[in-house]
Amino acid sequence: MSIAEYEVGRSPGPPTRPRVEVDPITTRVLSGAFKAVAREMASVLYRMSYSSIIRESEDLGAGIFDHVGRELCESESTPMHIGSLPWYIRGFLTRLDGKLEEGDVIVHNHPYLGASHSPDAAVAVPIFWEGELLGFSAVTAHLLDIGGSFPGVNADAFDVYAEGKMWTALRWYQAGKLNEDLDHMLFDNVRTETMNRGDMNAMRAACELGRDRFLKLVERYGPDVVMSCAYDLMDYSERMLRAEIEKLPDGVYTAPTGWLDDDAKNRGVRLRVETKVIVEGDSITIDLTGSNAEVPTGFNVPFEGSLMVAAYYAVRTIFLDEVTFPEEVPQNDGIFRCVKVVAPKGSIFNPQFPRACFSRFTQCQRVVDNVILALADAMPTKVTAGNSASIHFCAYSGFDQKQGEYWLYLEVNEGSYGGRYGKDAMDSVDNLMANTRNNPIEELDMRFPMRTEQYELRPEAAAPGKWRGGIGTIRRNRFMVDGTYSCEGDRQFDPPRGIFGGWDGLVASCRKNADSSTEEWLEAKVTGIPFVAGDFVELVEPNAAGYGDPLERDPHMVREDILDDFSTLVLAREAYGVVFKDDISLEIDLAATEAARAEIRAARARGEGFSSLTDYYRAKPVQRQINPVSAAADKQFGRS
């Protein structure tokens, strides 16, 4: 089947195996078993992998699926990966349906046949029971390198062929036997053969373990009971989500227009993101009509493997939060049935083949952030203010003459969450659907010719609000040898949005050799920038936005913010209206605070004042790096 014939977003139809009634106890036992299988698969993968992007960041997904890709269970890892695996399976089945054998190991990464993007390769093994294909055990993970014009990250790729090697429904093992010619092709055409081979062998081992564990369940309970239970759980999850959606009044909920920095080539040309959330009864539609047209670089989004997954994640997270929802609702295919996604063909969120779509993550993050903002008025207790909703996904590389291979380090730099109802935001954490762990600096220092010289919360204040926004990180990495730097990032111009009176947050930035005579400001998306030994890059991640009117924040919480270096004395007065009797004891002057807050409210009525931390610092740059308490106060309270 050609790409042109491939039916995007198609439904697999009803299950073919007869359904039997499964008692509640068995259902509960099997539900826990499904979850345990997926978690064990993920554990095997990240413990066996060679590269830090999988081993440390856990940039992976694992699960069990039926014979047409319906998700039975998933690992607790990056939502982007596991939500895309049903589409990988449906993509490779266009070539392999009816041709699969026991012992096959399939490799697939085509972004127009279900993959989330080309570096996220899937490895899958079929699960047969007495000759019948019951389903698949499958994983996906980000491989260090798949070819392409530059190591690791290719934000400005010309088309999908320039991104790297396309592996479309390839049988790495066939009937249990290694396809040696294909094996050579897979690993001879990448810069990091040793790391890729180790990672893909770990992926194969995880799949085989998942298959074996699932077959143990089938052996014990029988295929009819196991599969019927799986489909019952899907129906249950669907009912639970539809019941929550139905509580929301029908209507069209619209987010403010968002703007992405550029497409990695046409600098200064912002890209529009329009988001509507349409609620009709017990179903929900995420509509991106009006968003930017596709671009001639890798800054496009695969519709199935990335955009649809972002929509699923946003809806599941808001309506069925695992921490706050009173009942356990399994993550499976039932969640996907309630959500429809609309993006016109030829737009940045539904590009036409063969447009490149290597660097698609920041766009998906903004879609999730916009869905949250769109639903803020309707669901104020279940949303956050604007999140950093971006990543700086960096590739550092060079050639090791002794090893005869490239060294290549991939790094996800954390942002922060927006303030939330009843709580301040989380700082310095990979947010929304990225959900990866940070790479510890020891990983970089021990394994690569680089050093991390700074890694901490950025010095600026948190965005004011009744509940403050989160604080991003600042990180400096220095090359010890000559090499190259590439990055796919965003949000260096459009700050996270405050809600209900909270302030907007701060944008990101990138600099080469900051604060030196050779300082160079870098765009968020760059490919193959040369660095010589001694050069360093500084990455500053966004501060997210505030939730609620800062004048409603408890003055004692403002005092604690100052002591924690999350705010400043000046900002306490100008944003929160909190006045202290002196700068040393920080005793709150309640009468003066009430008067100051009345002043600020009057100024607002005249259209004066600030509602954005970015605008505030532009107007008052002297306040940007101020230590929030005086040296005298530090000395008195024993702070150094």
pLDDT at 414: 81
Helical pair 24-48 and 193-221, crossing angle rounded to 10 deg: 160
Q: Distance between CA 286 and CA 371 in Å, rounded?
A: 8
pLDDT at 16: 73
Residue 624 pLDDT exceeds 90: no
Pick from 302, 315, 317, 309: nearest CA to 355: 302
Residue 634 pLDDT exceeds 50: no
The model scores a pTM over 0.85: yes
**515-544 mean pLDDT:** 95
Cβ count within 10 A of residue 266: 13
**106-118 mean pLDDT:** 96
Which positions ≥6 away from 637 have C-beta within 8 Å? none
Q: Distance between CA 304 and CA 115 in Å, rounded?
A: 8
pLDDT at 637: 37
pLDDT at 627: 41
Pick from 23, 39, 53: nearest CA to 330: 39
pLDDT at 12: 79
Tell me the per-residue pLDDT of 247-268, one tens digit each, with 9 for 90 and over.
999 999 999 999 999 999 999 9
Residue 552 DSSP code:
G
Cis peptide before 354 (omega within 30 of 0): yes
pLDDT at 231: 97
Q: Distance between CA 466 and CA 558 in Å, rounded?
A: 10
Tell me the per-residue pLDDT of 365-404, one tens digit each, with 9 for 90 and over.
999 999 999 999 999 999 999 999 988 999 999 999 998 9
Look at the block and give the residue holding tokens 């499904």. 34
Q: Distance between CA 190 and CA 178 in Å, rounded?
A: 19
Strand order in the sheet with 120-129: 71-74, 60-66, 132-142, 120-129, 105-108, 170-174, 177-178
pLDDT at 18: 85
Which positions ≥6 away from 291 have C-beta within 8 Å? 271, 272, 273, 274, 275, 343, 347, 348, 349
> pLDDT band at 622, cuts 50/70/90?
low
Tell me the average pLDDT of the chain: 93
pLDDT at 255: 98
pLDDT at 632: 40
**481-499 mean pLDDT:** 96
Residue 293 DSSP code:
B
- 486, 150 in Cβ contact below 8 A? yes
For the chain, percent of residues with pLDDT exceeding 90:
86
Residue 629 pLDDT exceeds 50: no
pLDDT at 322: 86
Beta bridge partners of 536: 478
pLDDT at 620: 83
Residue 490 DSSP code:
-
Q: Distance between CA 194 and CA 198 in Å, rounded?
A: 6
User: Domain ranges in the chain?
Assistant: 24-237, 384-548, 551-636
pLDDT at 6: 66
Residue 630 pLDDT exceeds 50: no
Q: Distance between CA 13 and CA 67 in Å, rounded?
A: 11
Which positions ≥6 away from 593 have C-beta within 8 Å? 555, 577, 578, 579
pLDDT at 435: 74
Q: Distance between CA 88 and CA 116 in Å, rounded?
A: 8
**101-121 mean pLDDT:** 97
- 127, 211 in Cβ contact below 8 A? yes
DSSP-derived secondary structure for 48-79: H-SSHHHHTT--EEEEEEETT--EEEE-SS-H
Tell me the per-residue pLDDT of 115-162, one tens digit each, with 9 for 90 and over.
999 999 999 999 999 999 999 999 999 999 999 999 999 999 999 999
Residue 443 pLDDT exceeds 90: no
Q: 277 in helix, strand or coil?
A: strand
pLDDT at 8: 72
Residue 69 pLDDT exceeds 90: yes
- 313, 369 in Cβ contact below 8 A? no
Tell me the per-residue pLDDT of 162-207, one tens digit each, with 9 for 90 and over.
999 999 999 999 999 999 999 999 999 999 999 999 999 999 999 9
Tell me the per-residue pLDDT of 279-299, one tens digit each, with 9 for 90 and over.
999 999 999 999 999 999 999
**66-92 mean pLDDT:** 89
Q: Distance between CA 229 and CA 16 in Å, rounded?
A: 14
164 or 625, higher pLDDT? 164
Beta bridge partners of 400: 405
Residue 466 pLDDT exceeds 80: yes
Terminal alpha carbon distance of the chain: 67
Which positions ≥6 away from 539 have C-beta within 8 Å? 392, 394, 413, 473, 474, 475, 476, 477, 508, 509, 510
In 507-640, the DSSP E strands lie at 509-512, 520-522, 526-531, 536-540
pLDDT at 628: 39
Q: 257 in helix, strand or coil?
A: coil
Q: Distance between CA 104 and CA 631 in Å, rounded?
A: 67
**570-597 mean pLDDT:** 95
Tell me the per-residue pLDDT of 2-16, one tens digit each, with 9 for 90 and over.
676 667 776 677 777
Q: Exposed (0-12), middle (13-18) or buried (19+): which is 454, by Cβ within 10 Å? A: middle
Pairing assessment for the beta strands 283-287 and 339-342 based on DSSP bridges: parallel
Tally of residues, the chain: 640
Q: Exposed (0-12), middle (13-18) or buried (19+): which is 154, by Cβ within 10 Å? A: buried
User: CA torsion sign, 188 to 190 to 194 to 195?
Assistant: negative
Q: Distance between CA 592 and CA 347 in Å, rounded?
A: 54
